[in-house]
Amino acid sequence: MTMLMIRCSILLLLLTSCLSSSPPPTHAGVTEKTDEAGWKLYTNARFGFSIRYPDDWRLGNPMPDGVGVMLHPPIEQSLVAVSGHMNVVSGSSPEGRQTLDEFASAHHRIITDLYGKKQVTLRWQPDQERSLAGFPGKELIFGYTDDKQGEIIEHHIFSLGRNEGRGIRVKVPRSAEERVMPTIRKMLETYQPGRDQNAVSPLVPKPDLSR
């Protein structure tokens, strides 16, 4: 399996989770009270990033391969995924891997194809320049009509390092967007990248220093 296929498979799993209407059971033992407002802290063991979330949001089970977790706001049909991934696809960066623009372009293409297979037409909004934990990032926004859930809006916010990337994906009914997104913005202010995003990937051969 190529690295592009691996990345597509991970993205498919994440989107499948976001499309699910049945939230997974609570995964205990990975959060703690962190401030006077009662917000909790999630820390990802694999990528090292952390983010705080409201006390009344429910934490779901870890995603496949420990890449992240699903959060469940107290709003029907709302899901938030926080995750990391490896940047190992060939691109035009100095290290020969994807740049942020190349990743965003691929993200557009993969998501459009995935939803197209479900006969769902996406309505894309212009990409927004964002930062995530101090790293340059992008926010991709698109809407669509779901036969069961009505009008849905999704926000995909991510940053990309030399070997790793991290992001947050938000799915919410359009009628609840103005209630959820201010909380998402506050959550992003608490986002910590953990390890340096330029840390060497275990999937990339280490240089031979003996030469």
Sequential DSSP letters for the chain: --HHHHHHHHHHHHHHHHH-SSPPPP--SS--B-STT--EEEE-TTT--EEEE-TTSEEEEEPGGGSEEEEE-SSTT-EEEEEEEE--SB-SSTTSB--HHHHHHHHHHHHHHHHHHTT---EEPPPEEEEETTEEEEEEEEEEEETTTEEEEEEEEEEE-SSEEEEEEEEEEGGGHHHHHHHHHHHHHT-B--S-TTSPPTTSPPP-TT-
How many angstroms separate the CA atoms of 154 and 142, rounded? 5
Determine the pLDDT at residue 65.
87
pLDDT at 42: 94
Residue 119 φ then ψ, to 5°: 60, 35
2, 24, 25 from 58: Cα distances, Å:
35, 10, 9
Residue 180, CA distances (Å) to 15, 131, 171, 176, 196 in order: 19, 19, 10, 6, 29
Asked whether the predicted pLDDT for residue 148 surpasses 90, the reply is no
pLDDT range class, residue 208, cuts 50, 70, 90: low
User: In the prediction, which pLDDT does 113 show?
Assistant: 96
Q: Is residue 208 part of a domain?
A: no
Highest mean pLDDT among 16-20, 24-28, 70-74: 70-74
User: Which of 16 and 187 is assigned the larger pLDDT?
Assistant: 187
Q: Is residue 10 part of a domain?
A: yes
pLDDT digits (tens, 9 = 90+) for 95-145: 888 899 999 999 999 999 999 998 999 999 999 999 888 888 999 999 999
- Percent with pLDDT over 90 in the chain: 50
Find the angle CA(17)-CA(37)-CA(185) to the nearest 5 degrees. 50
C-alpha torsion angle, residues 55, 157, 168, 105 (rounded to 10): 170
- Which residue segment(s) compose the domain that 43 sits in? 3-20+29-189
The residue written with tokens 């293409």 in the block is: 109
Q: Residue 62: its pLDDT value, please?
A: 87
Structure tokens at 123: 């309505």
Residue type, 94: P
Question: What confidence tier does 19 reach under pLDDT thresholds 50, 70, 90?
Answer: very low
The answer to whether position 210 is within a domain reads: no
In a domain, 117, yes or no: yes
Q: Is 203 among the domain residues?
A: no
Residue 41 domain-assigned?
yes
Instruction: Quote the pTM value.
Output: 0.79
Cβ contact 13:61 at 8 Å: no
Share of the chain above pLDDT 70, in %: 74
Q: What is the CATH number for 142?
A: 3.40.1000.10
Residue 200, domain member (yes or no): no
Q: How many domains does the chain have?
A: 1
- Asked whether residue 65 is assigned to any structural domain, the reply reads yes
pLDDT category at 24 given cuts 50, 70, 90 is: very low
* pLDDT above 70 (res 6): no
Listed residue (56, 54, 62, 68) closest to 25, CA to CA:
62
Average pLDDT over residues 133-161: 90
